[in-house]
Every structure is written in C-alpha cells, then in structure tokens.
Structure 1
Amino acid sequence: MTHHLAAGTARGGPYTVHVTPETAGWDHSSLRVLTLPPGGTHTFAGGDSEWIVLPLAGSCTVTVTDEAGRHIFELVGRKDVFSAVSDFAYVPRDAHATVSSAAGGRFALTGARCERRLPARHGPAASVPVELRGGGSCSRQVNNFAAADVFACDRLIAVEVLTPGGNWSSFPPHKHDEHRPGEESVLEEIYYFEFAAHDGVPGLGYQRVSPSGPGRTTDVLAEVRDGDVVLIPDGWHGPSMAVPGHHMYYLNVMAGPGAERAWLISDHPDHAWVRDTWPGQPADPRLPLYSAPAPSGHPSPSGHPSP
C-alpha cells in the first residue's frame, strides 16, 4: 500500500484528489479536491457519508437537497489557505449537493462514513476557533473548523494546520490507532498539503510516519509538495517539517469506528518531554498568520496557546 500520494496520482473523475475508503484500504475517511473553472458546477451524492465543503481558494454556492428540503449556502471563501479562515457547508449523508462558483476556485470535500443524518448547515468563518499550538520552532496555527468539540458531525473530524517556514508541526510524534477509553481513540487520518511560494518558487516540506507496534507497519519519509496526500491508517505521525522560507498548510481529515467522536492521542514516549518545554517558550511571532473574522460588532479574536 502506498501511503504517500504525490500530486496527480490520486485523481479520480472530476477530482484532482479522490481518496475513498476503498482506495485508502480503510473504512471511514474520505477526501476530494474539486477544481472548478469560472461558472463551473459540480453535483455529488452524499451516499453513506457526511461531508463538509471547504473553500481552499475562491468562493462558491453550495445547494443541498435532503429530506428536510432545499438549502442554499453562499460561501465567501478566501483567496487562498494562507490568507484567511474560510466558512464552510455541512452536507448530511443521503443528501445531494451542487457546488457552483462564478469566479472558479478549488474546494475540499472532507467526508466520513456515518450512521446519523444531521441537518445541513453553514459554518461561518467567525465561529472557527484559531489556536496557536506548541512553542518556539514547534509553533503552528490550527483552524479548528470541524474539531470534535467545535462543530457537530457524526464521525467526521477536520482541521487546518499552518506551519511557518522552518518550523516543525505534528510534534511530538503521536498516534491514534488503539482504543483505550479516555486515553486514545482509533482514527484514520488524511493529510493534504499546500505550500506558500516565494518569488514564484514552489515550497516543499517533509512528512514522517513510523510504525507504532506489531501489526502497525505504516512507514513514510516523504518530500511533500502542493497537492500531495499522506494516508495514515496507523503509526506515529510527525514531524511535519516546513522548509525555511515557505509556509506549509495541511488539511487533516479523520474518522473512526468509536462510539465517541473524539481526538485522543498518545505521544511518542521518546519525545513526549518536548511538550513540557512549550509553556516556557513564546509562540513564533509570525503567528497567527491570520485570525478568524470578528462577528459583527465584536473585536477580532486572536489565536491563543494551547495548554
């Protein structure tokens, strides 16, 4: 099984990235990346999965038809992933959705097989918590748009991580491949990467995944570039390294079999001590790269260090 999918190798139908449970060799998590030309339209069926339509670049209209009727969500979107938090639309299982864009753009469809049918909804950018995680050279920004404790889904967990050039994220290496109540949850995970160019030169980074025990053999050391995907069915994942001069973005999509929708992780025992050094270190002064827009009549929120 290939766990590093270089840009262009995971195409399928109208999607530049098309990762399904079948192609990934697992049971729950999906990711599609849809590129629309100006005036472009695409319709898809939710099937047995719930979906979030997230603009990566550009704006769009998402029309959802489900048992409750027809819902139209106008997504303001953003110029690119390095410029702003985006709003998004939730598409329930068994629904049909049409994504249309007057000016064109690139849109992520994050999905997870699920049982419950929840209401179609709009997620405003102003409601997305922007967190600063880590410290020093391990500082990164997390846009928790569909974190487990932020936005209601049945199975899907999805966040965006922005790592300034030269920094490490997904560190200490951590895993979520064992069911240990209250301590660790089983989650399949997809990383989708984009990089900030410098003077027209594309960016790049590196991703490590290492085996976490008997029967868990995922082993990746990959140079990653725009549009690359890394699949993580198990194993210690991290670090994710951004080369100097190029900010790194990745979209994390997670889902698993547990009755509780929770992101519970175990740190690698050799590196867990690094987390204890963060309270004594300031966050990278380049962060946050941006904050969520303020709700009308309220001051703009800023990122904040995690515990």
Structure 2
Amino acid sequence: MTNFKGEPDFYVPAGRAADGPYALDIDPKRVGWGYSSLRVIELEPGGSHAFGTGESEWIVLPLSGGCSVAAEGQTFELHGRSGVFAGVSDFAYVPRDAEVSIVTTGGGRFALTGARCERRLPARYGPASGVPVELRGSGNCSRQVNNFGAAGVFEADKLIAVEVLTPGGNWSSYPPHKHDECRPGEESELEEIYYFEIAPHDGTEGLGYQRVSPSGHGRGTDVLAEVRTGDAVLIPDGWHGPSIAAPGHDMYYLNVMAGPGVDRQWLICDHPDHAWIRGAWADTPVDPRLPLYETKESAEEEGGR
C-alpha cells in the first residue's frame, strides 16, 4: 500500500486495503514490516470462511455477531456481541500452520488479529468473562481498555491485542508514547495497527482523529488523519497519540501489536513534552460514563457497595 509518490500509506481508509473476502487485509508483506497482521471479514447469515494460518498465530474476535471456529480438531462456539459498543466478546486463538474454518448462523463482522511467530501453541477458547477491563486515565483522558489479548493476560508467542473505547469528546492514547526501540526493561519494539469504529449519533456518521509523529527512529511515520468506521492507521514507529473522539461520538479501536523481542512485552516511552499529564490524573475522577457497558468487574463492584 503506497501513495502516488511510492511512499508507504500509514493511513488506510475503509476499503483501501480490501482483498478477496476481506474488507480489510493488512499483512507484513503488503505493509513492508515483519510481524503484525489484521483482517476483517463480513459474513452473511449462514456464511462461512476458511483460511490457513501460515506463519502466523491468530485470534478470531467477533466485532458483531457470533460464529463457530473450527481448528485442530476442536470447535469453539463464540457468542460474540451485537457490536463493539455493546459488550466484551469471547474469542478463539488458533496457532500457526493450521487450517481454520469460521461459520456463522446469524452473520456478522469478525476481526482476525495475527502475528508472525515461531512457537506453535494449542488452539484455545477465551471467554468474555475472563477479559480484564481496565479504566485508564482520568477526566477527559479517560478510556476503557479490554485486555483480551494483552501480554500477561492471554498466552501467545508474539501477538498482543486489546480494545480501547473512548467516550465522545475524550482523548486516548495520551500522553503520546512510542515502542519502536528495544531497550530492555524500558521499551519494547512493536509494530502496531489501529482499527477504528465510531459510534453514530442520531443517524449521523461519527468521526475522530489520530496523530502519529516521528520519533527519530524507523521510517519517520507522520500521520494526522480523520478516521471513521472501517479505517486503519499503521504505526511501524513514532510517537502515537492522541486518539481523539469527537463530542457525541464514542470511539472504538482495536490495537494489534507484535515485534522481534524474545519476551512478549508492551513497554512504552511517553513523549517527554506531555508525560506530565499522568501526574494530574490522581486529582481528577475517571469519566463517569465509563465503563461504557457493564463488565464483570463493574458488576462485582456494584454488588460490593
């Protein structure tokens, strides 16, 4: 994916990276990097899709609807959800060098988050009830993080994947941060994909903004993009953030990360001009609109009051 100058396109509007059955197909060969992949497939009621995992491990994550995922002689029934703003979803992990089939009775939209890897781990089911939900930041920097495929939460070889939900008018991925160098104990080298969905308001399409600025490492990625549902932003390097949700329109993004490190870690470095904001969060309450929907953690907290 390149622009008219032959340079990489780091902002990928909806449909730009469609390929075959996929509404979005980002893989290392097309992007020109080493590890991270993301595919989004839309299936009609009764629809199915089969694919080989190749050199990558994958998590099948329902964005809307439910499906069954068959791999390695096992079938995982994913209950899914009506949409990304409705709740946490269950998911299925499938290993490299496997054949996979997805079948849906009611139809839906499904994300395949992938990473080139070496180890071949067993296929597994991830229940929605096991997804840790974190409220990060405070005030107008508050956001919700569904850590379904985070390092330290769910085992994978290279793949790290999480969902972030930002209430309308808030900033997330803030302060700007980077992870484009390997500095043991301080920063891990990870390529990253942001996939966006924006909640409409009274039938009006929503929008948001994403900033990526050069860090002095890698390709010098520089993006300021207006993002809408189905858009993606590729981050091989650079300071990324803020992700800005327009007032009245909640923002969802799916983060997919992977890199060359031996240890699967998400270690970041905050931009020195903006890192001070973290110190202000202790004196400001979390946005009361969060969590955007009841989670296992919020239900338990309510029961304990």
TM-score, structure 2 as length reference: 0.95
Cα distance in structure 2, aligned partners of 1:301 and 1:17: 37
Number of the residue aligned with 2:20: 13
Is there any run of 5+ residues in structure 2 with no aligned partner, and where?
1-7
Cα distance in structure 1, aligned partners of 2:270 and 2:30: 28
Determine which of 119, 135, 140 is the counterpart of 1:132: 135
Is there any run of 5+ residues in structure 1 with no aligned partner, and where?
none
Amino acid corresponding to residue 42 of structure 1 in structure 2:
H
Number of the residue aligned with 2:48: 41
Matched, 1:98 2:101: yes
Superposed counterparts of 1:66-215, under 5 Å? 70-213=73-216, 215=218
Matched, 1:62 2:69: yes
Matched, 1:257 2:264: no
Aligned residues: 295
Cα distance in structure 1, aligned partners of 2:152 and 2:208: 29
Matched, 1:292 2:292: no
Cα distance in structure 2, aligned partners of 1:257 and 1:232: 15
Cα distance in structure 1, aligned partners of 2:26 and 2:301: 33
Cα distance in structure 2, aligned partners of 1:266 and 1:216: 18
Matched, 1:242 2:245: yes
Cα distance in structure 2, aligned partners of 1:157 and 1:278: 26
8 Å CA contact 1:29, 1:111 repeated in 2 = yes
Q: What displacement does 1:292 show?
A: 3.2
Cα distance in structure 2, aligned partners of 1:302 and 1:8: 41
Cα distance in structure 2, aligned partners of 1:302 and 1:35: 36
Structure 1 residues 218-258: Cα deviation after superposition (integer angstroms, max 9, x where no partner): 00000000000000000000000000000000000000000
Cα distance in structure 1, aligned partners of 2:277 and 2:296: 32
Amino acid corresponding to residue 251 of structure 1 in structure 2:
L
Change (3 A) 1:186 1:39: same
Aligned-partner SS, 1:300: helix
8 Å CA contact 1:291, 1:302 repeated in 2 = no
Q: What displacement does 1:139 show?
A: 0.2
Q: What displacement does 1:300 show?
A: 3.0
Aligned-partner SS, 1:278: helix
Number of the residue aligned with 1:272: 275
Number of the residue aligned with 1:222: 225
Number of the residue aligned with 1:3: 10
8 Å CA contact 2:180, 2:218 repeated in 1 = no
Q: What displacement does 1:280 show?
A: 1.1
Aligned-partner SS, 2:299: coil
Percent identity (aligned): 68
Cα distance in structure 2, aligned partners of 1:209 and 1:291: 32
Cα distance in structure 2, aligned partners of 1:137 and 1:222: 20
Cα distance in structure 1, aligned partners of 2:286 and 2:217: 37
Cα distance in structure 2, aligned partners of 1:140 and 1:194: 15
Structure 1 residues 65-100: Cα deviation after superposition (integer angstroms, max 9, x where no partner): 3xxxx0100000000000000000000111111011
Q: What displacement does 1:279 show?
A: 1.1
Structure 1 residues 15-49: Cα deviation after superposition (integer angstroms, max 9, x where no partner): 00000001111000000001000000000101110
Matched, 1:32 2:31: no
Aligned-partner SS, 2:276: helix
Cα distance in structure 1, aligned partners of 2:217 and 2:88: 40
RMSD: 1.2
Cα distance in structure 2, aligned partners of 1:83 and 1:292: 10
8 Å CA contact 1:291, 1:301 repeated in 2 = no
Cα distance in structure 2, aligned partners of 1:34 and 1:80: 14
Q: What displacement does 1:302 show?
A: 5.6
Amino acid corresponding to residue 218 of structure 1 in structure 2:
T
